[in-house]
Amino acid sequence: MMDSFIHFYSTIIFLSVLVLINTQSDPLSTLESTIISHGGQVLRITDPQYKAAATLHNRAIQTWPELILRPATHDDVLLALLTLSSLRIPIRIMGGRHSYGGYCSHQGIVLDSALLKDLKIDWETETITMDAGIIWDDVYRVLNGTEYVIMGGLCPTVGVVGFTLGGGYNAMYSRSYGFASDNVLKFKVALYNGSVVTASSEINPDLYWALRGGGGGNFGYVLQMTQKIHRINETHMPNGQFTFLNITWINVDIKIALNNWLAFLKEVADNDIRISFNVIVAVNGESNFLMMYCSFNGPSIEIDTVFNPWLLKDPKPTFNSMFNYTQNDISRVLAIPFPVVNREHVLSAMAINITEAMLDIILDFQPNSTADVGSWTELIYLHSATKDKNTAYAFPDISFDIAPGVSWRNPDNDPYAIDMSEKFLQKLIDAAAPTKSIVGAYLNYIDPYLPNWQTMYYRHHWDRLREIQTKWDPTWYFRFPQGIPPYNQQSNAYKLPNKNSMVIISSFIMLVWFY
């Protein structure tokens, strides 16, 4: 009898110790407590900060993750990657939350950069070093009032890292100063196994090449990057100001207006990289709208000489306004709310030129009159942008990014809105086929429905990018739809049993052992 009691109580004590050991040694709990102890955050759906942290820019692709980890230090990012990859728990990397495919989130664990906010300017070397959690608004505010600009996004809430990794053009500045990816001098990158490397033209140049245009979420977790800034001195205006024009036509023959513009590009702008355009075309039934944002990186005294021969042609603009704007001003004027009010789907066609057949398709992009869906097409002028050709960005030869978009409120319209925009893109590609005018798509407008996306985004760089991915992320830990797979990748899609399951299993084993 006494032996039975001793055996029973020994079992109870042993199992209690086992539960305590399992609880204390759970690597996820250790990771969470470490992140919190260093000023970071661990957010679940019951936490009051969760919804704001998990909300994506586009409501149409919203996903709610199970857990958001927000490290406040680089070392804690390394610990998170080491812990989670060793347990083979999939993650997504979140930055500015603008991914058009929603690939910065999923229903599992998200590693969010929001609290990594270090930013340093070196005026002597004319460079700026930015942590992964910086958004362009942070940078523009720091540079505001100086004579400097940086190659960032027009939308100020976009994350600096994701924008740059996808190539990162700026419609108002890139013709003068190149893309964001051209201006990066150095990356600090956390690898899947918790180690950290530098990538530059001299250190790990293959990774440096791939990161400049290979797309966010591939190869590793960029903790920090150093980028060139540019002093504005050609405009002869203070505080880095440009001349900014807003030229608008309403309810005129916009095909003639667009052809006049295209002729101006060929005759003047193609040979003058001081001129940049971001054009918006909208057609709805009998009404139409054509608005051009234009920047001029030259002295304002030349404006009339450069632009009047074009702007005095019929049909003349309905409105034509001119401002002296800083980069901060431009981002404020062109800013899109976060999150956007409606649901959206945006596409891209990188084009060497715009033919008459393509123009006819663009001017016919409008939804069914009974559908509660709006549509537009952006024409971003990038001809002869000051482009570094030795990067993974595959389109140094294009002149335009043709970016159609649709917007709607009711989720029931999702299938129609997506289908009509994808069919429009295919019509545009077909119209361009005889002249081979469309050569790909802009990676930062990543489209989950795009056929042949490997070639469309990466052109002839796909095989080289896979080789580099194989070297730096052989297990394909940084995995997402439309990500770059390594050769002979190993699966990491294993979900760790939860803590309670581990305790129950261990306890059962011990009970069997005792009895």
Task: Please give the residue that has the higher pLDDT: either 155 or 6.
Answer: 155
Whole-number pLDDT of residue 25: 63
pLDDT score of 498 more than 90:
no
Find the DSSP H helices in 297-367: 303-311, 327-334, 356-362
The structure's pTM equals 0.89
Whole-number pLDDT of residue 40: 98
Whole-number pLDDT of residue 378: 97
Whole-number pLDDT of residue 287: 86
pLDDT score of 9 more than 70:
no
β-pairing, 109-112 with 67-70?
A: parallel
* Mean pLDDT lowest among 19-28, 176-185, 278-287, 390-399: 19-28
Q: Tell me if 351 sits within 8 A of 432, measured CB to CB.
A: yes
pLDDT score of 274 more than 90:
yes
Give the model confidence (pLDDT) of 436-481 as tens digits: 999 999 999 999 999 999 999 999 999 999 999 999 999 999 999 9
**137: burial class by Cβ within 10 Å (0-12, 13-18, 19+)?**
buried
φ, ψ for residue 29, nearest 5 deg:
-65, -40
Q: How far apart are CA 153 and CA 159, in angstroms?
A: 9
Mean pLDDT of all residues in 115-127: 97
pLDDT score of 185 more than 70:
yes
C-alpha dist (Å) from residue 42 to 68, 131, 463: 6, 20, 38
With tokens 């293959």, the residue in question is: 206
Whole-number pLDDT of residue 510: 38
The pLDDT mean for the chain works out to: 90
pLDDT score of 23 more than 90:
no
pLDDT score of 14 more than 60:
no
pLDDT score of 12 more than 80:
no
Burial of 387-407, coded b for 16+ CB within 10 Å and e otherwise, reads beeebbbbbbebbbbbbbbbb
Q: Could you tell me the domains of the chain?
A: 1-112 (3.30.43.10), 119-231 (3.30.465.10), 241-456 (3.40.462.20)
Whole-number pLDDT of residue 3: 55
pLDDT score of 495 more than 60:
no
Give the model confidence (pLDDT) of 190-227 as tens digits: 999 999 999 999 999 999 999 999 999 999 999 999 99
* Mean pLDDT lowest among 7-16, 232-241, 267-276: 7-16
Whole-number pLDDT of residue 499: 43
Token readout for 36 is 């919190």
Give the model confidence (pLDDT) of 127-183 as tens digits: 999 999 999 999 999 999 999 999 999 999 999 999 999 999 999 999 999 999 999
Cis peptide before 315 (omega within 30 of 0): yes
Token readout for 6 is 């001793």
C-alpha triplet 105, 110, 111: angle, nearest 5°: 125
Give the model confidence (pLDDT) of 382-432 as tens digits: 998 778 889 999 999 999 999 999 999 999 999 999 999 999 999 999 999
CA atoms within 13 A of residue 8's CA, in its CB half-sphere: 5
Give the model confidence (pLDDT) of 313-327 as tens digits: 999 999 999 999 999
Of 256, 253, 247, 286, nearest in space to 356 by CA: 256
Give the model confidence (pLDDT) of 324-365 as tens digits: 999 999 988 888 889 998 999 999 999 999 999 999 999 999
DSSP H or E segment with residue 351 = strand 349-351
Of 167, 213, 154, nearest in space to 378 by CA: 154
pLDDT score of 371 more than 70:
yes
Of 403, 232, 233, 246, nearest in space to 333 by CA: 246
Task: Please give the residue that has the higher pLDDT: either 216 or 494.
Answer: 216
Task: Please give the residue that has the higher pLDDT: either 380 or 492.
Answer: 380
* Mean pLDDT lowest among 21-30, 175-184, 495-504: 495-504
Q: Give the three-class secondary structure for 292.
A: strand
Whole-number pLDDT of residue 488: 83
DSSP state of 123: T
Whole-number pLDDT of residue 489: 66
